[in-house]
Amino acid sequence: MASKLEALQRWVDEVAALTRPAHIHWCDGSDAEYQQLVQQMLQTGDLIELNQQTHPGCYLHRSNPSDVARVEHLTFVCTKDEEDAGPNNHWMAPTEAHAKIDALFDGCMEGRTLYVIPYCMGPIDSPLARCGVEITDSPYVVANMRTMTRMGAAAMARIEREGTFVKGLHSTGELDPERRFIMHFPEELTIKSYGSGYGGNALLGKKCHALRIASWQAKSEGWLAEHMLIVGIENPQGETHYVAAAFPSACGKTNLAMLIPPEGYRKDGWKVWTVGDDICWMRPGADGRLYAINPEAGFFGVAPGTSDNSNPNALASIARDTIFTNVAVTADNQPWWEGLPGTPVTDWQGRPYDAANGPAAHPNSRFTVSAKQCPTWSPKAEDAQGVPISAIVFGGRRPSLVPLVFEARDWAHGVLVGAAMGSETTAAATGAVGVLRRDSMAMKPFCGYHYGDYFKHWLSFDQAGAKLPKIFHVNWFRKGKDGKFLWPGFGDNLRVLEWMIARVKGEAEGQVTPIGTLPAKGELRLDGLDLNAATLEELLEVDHSGWQAELDAIGDYLHSFGARMPKQLHDEQQRVAKALAAAEPRREAVAS
């Protein structure tokens, strides 16, 4: 790597002068480098070797107990104009933010190694991909970034060729929660993160670059950076339709990305292909369709709940060459979490397991693994042009009101559906249970600019000649009066995706309602499913008065973003509200 780009070399020198490391190491992404890092971390105790007979190449990392999740209240978007960051972000003026965090970086790498990580988000030859460089003092971050991105010599060559890259500076610091910040400077394409070693705060290619900074880049360059899975559905005729889907956390994104078709579908020849489970970058192609890449090369998945029942493909992916973070361990040194068979002996903090201390594995414990290890991994994930998207799906956890599936009337209505989407809180989160939290496009923690501008950007794709995907909304979580889920979910969700694809191909009539088009009678394939007609009717019911109240709440939500909210979205909300009012079944006066 002789000819390091001058701008990059200058920045590395500046950071070294500020942080004063003992050594500087430029990462090349090689196997030998990775093995050397692993050996070093085994010696320092940063990694613990797991059972190499059952889990070859697998290691455990235990993070500081105060450092186990993203810290949204310490995450800032630092734009010159506060209004550009929007009410959906915490804002700090760039000069103040740089001064505050640089004071923390001062001398923070003394006695440590400064690692320079050149990386590419997306296939290395893709015009849709974007490069970055992360400087860190954490070998754990280097090892994870190697799995999660295209890291090393090939990325460095592209950076030298293009001359541009996103700058990310990270130090674990003292891991003091009182000295912790994650700062984004979208106008400077810069990220600064201090005081955390946790994935989303420390692996800067992930949420920081691939969503917060990339969403800003996408706005200015005419594409979309989204918190979406990408899955390919191949029918028995050999046609594959690609679907991008956005759900808030705990709504089954990874499960949908790695879906296993029901037995009858498998026999008929249906296949599911995993392109990505978390992030999707889309841009219009020459033919007017949206093409998508997964900017990541790996999965940074939540371990608890991943089991042979819920997601056998994810479980198969992590049987080797995986870094586990904050999981428990069994007597024979295998990784363990709630949902797996067996018994833990040591919890995520390394203590002897005692149920009185809470779950054995941290609820946000993780695995980092190459996407290529997934049994359903699609070779199209390496396609430089991306895959054409047939449908975009929004969804959340709604125990009532929202039907199993409906299709938006057009693009503008689809943007409203995405903007309005939300989930009811579960017992997993602190605070009240059953409260509806809006999380537009599942981007609330990740949109790097004002939500009003973001919705306007989405609306701008509806242009002459555009062949945009159809937009749908799903709800796998509707409950009956007994409090039980009405829909079986998991693999059976393919039945809903099959109907969507039929709609895309013009092969399903559907039933038009004021909120959108629902499956008409007989259009959902239900063979092999124990679902009676009354349950299906409840799953597809449109409660007019309930929806009128919902539309009023959506109107209030849109108004909360002020003058930057596009008028077109307000108009769309009014159109649906009027359609509901006009269609409400007239109640006949009943004589007493």
CATH code of 542's domain: 3.90.228.20
Q: Would you state the pLDDT for residue 514? A: 98
For 239-258, what is the mean pLDDT? 93
Same domain, 205 and 235: no
**Whether the predicted pLDDT of 1 surpasses 70:** no
124 in a domain, yes or no?
yes
pLDDT band at 3 (very low <50, low <70, confident <90, very high): low
Distance in angstroms (rounded) separating the CA atoms of residues 187 and 80: 8
Count of the separate structural domains present in the chain = 3
Distance in angstroms (rounded) separating the CA atoms of residues 17 and 345: 46
357 is in an annotated binding site: no
Number of other CB atoms surrounding residue 405 within 10 Å: 27
Contacts of 346 (CB under 8 A, 6+ apart): 328, 329, 352, 353
pLDDT band at 249 (very low <50, low <70, confident <90, very high): confident
163 in a domain, yes or no?
yes
> Which of 251, 280, 374, 447 does the annotation list as catalytic?
251
Element (H, E) at 41: helix 31-44
For residue 319, count CB atoms less than 10 angstroms from its CB and return exposed for 0-12, middle for 13-18, buried for 19 or more. middle
Q: In the chain, how many H helices and how many E strands?
A: 17, 30
Any bridge partners for residue 24, and if so which?
A: 114
**Whether the predicted pLDDT of 145 surpasses 70:** yes
418 in a domain, yes or no?
yes
Q: Would you state the pLDDT for residue 58? A: 98
pLDDT tens per residue, range 434-450: 789 999 999 999 999 99
Same domain, 535 and 453: yes
Same domain, 75 and 186: yes
**Whether the predicted pLDDT of 366 surpasses 80:** yes
Same domain, 415 and 497: yes
Q: Which residue has the higher pLDDT, 509 or 70?
A: 509
**Whether the predicted pLDDT of 590 surpasses 60:** no
Q: Would you state the pLDDT for residue 251? A: 86
**Whether the predicted pLDDT of 457 surpasses 90:** yes
238 is in an annotated binding site: no
The average confidence (pLDDT) of the chain is 95
574 in a domain, yes or no?
no
- Residue ending a domain, among 198, 222, 246, is 222
**Whether the predicted pLDDT of 430 surpasses 90:** no
For 569-580, what is the mean pLDDT? 98
Residue 363's CATH number = 2.170.8.10
Q: Which of 165, 368, 388 is nearest to 278 (CA)?
A: 368
Percent of the chain at pLDDT > 70 equals 97
Same domain, 116 and 77: yes
235 is in an annotated binding site: no
Same domain, 342 and 473: no
481 is in an annotated binding site: no
Cβ pair 166, 224 in contact under 8 A = no
Percent of the chain at pLDDT > 90 equals 93
**Whether the predicted pLDDT of 586 surpasses 60:** no
Instruction: Show the domain range for 149.
Output: 6-47+70-222
Same domain, 137 and 257: no
Same domain, 208 and 232: no
400 is in an annotated binding site: no
Q: Would you state the pLDDT for residue 584? A: 73
Least confident of 206-210, 469-473, 587-591: 587-591
pLDDT band at 587 (very low <50, low <70, confident <90, very high): very low
For 115-140, what is the mean pLDDT? 98
Q: Which residue has the higher pLDDT, 433 or 499?
A: 499
pTM of the model: 0.96
Instruction: Kindly report the length of the chain.
Output: 592
Q: Would you state the pLDDT for residue 491? A: 95
pLDDT band at 69 (very low <50, low <70, confident <90, very high): confident
Q: Would you state the pLDDT for residue 592? A: 35
DSSP 555-587: HHHHHTTGGGS-HHHHHHHHHHHHHHHHHSPPP
Q: Would you state the pLDDT for residue 425? A: 72
Same domain, 339 and 439: no
Residue 85's CATH number = 3.40.449.10
Q: Which stretches of 69-166 are DSSP H helices? A: 82-85, 94-105, 139-148, 153-162
- 120 catalytic per annotation: no
For 18-32, what is the mean pLDDT? 98
Cβ pair 298, 34 in contact under 8 A = no
450 is in an annotated binding site: no
pLDDT tens per residue, range 70-93: 888 999 999 999 999 999 999 999
190 in a domain, yes or no?
yes
**Whether the predicted pLDDT of 347 surpasses 70:** yes
Strands 387-395 and 240-246, sheet pairing: parallel
490 is in an annotated binding site: yes
Least confident of 111-115, 131-135, 328-332, 580-584: 580-584
- Residue ending a domain, among 222, 237, 253, is 222
Q: Would you state the pLDDT for residue 588? A: 38
Q: Which of 97, 119, 98 is nearest to 18 (CA)?
A: 98
390 in a domain, yes or no?
yes
Cβ pair 344, 335 in contact under 8 A = no
Same domain, 30 and 177: yes
Q: Which residue has the higher pLDDT, 275 or 591?
A: 275
Residue type, 573: Q
Same domain, 408 and 516: yes
583 in a domain, yes or no?
no
Same domain, 268 and 327: no
3-state secondary structure of 467: coil
561 in a domain, yes or no?
no
- Residue ending a domain, among 190, 222, 254, is 222
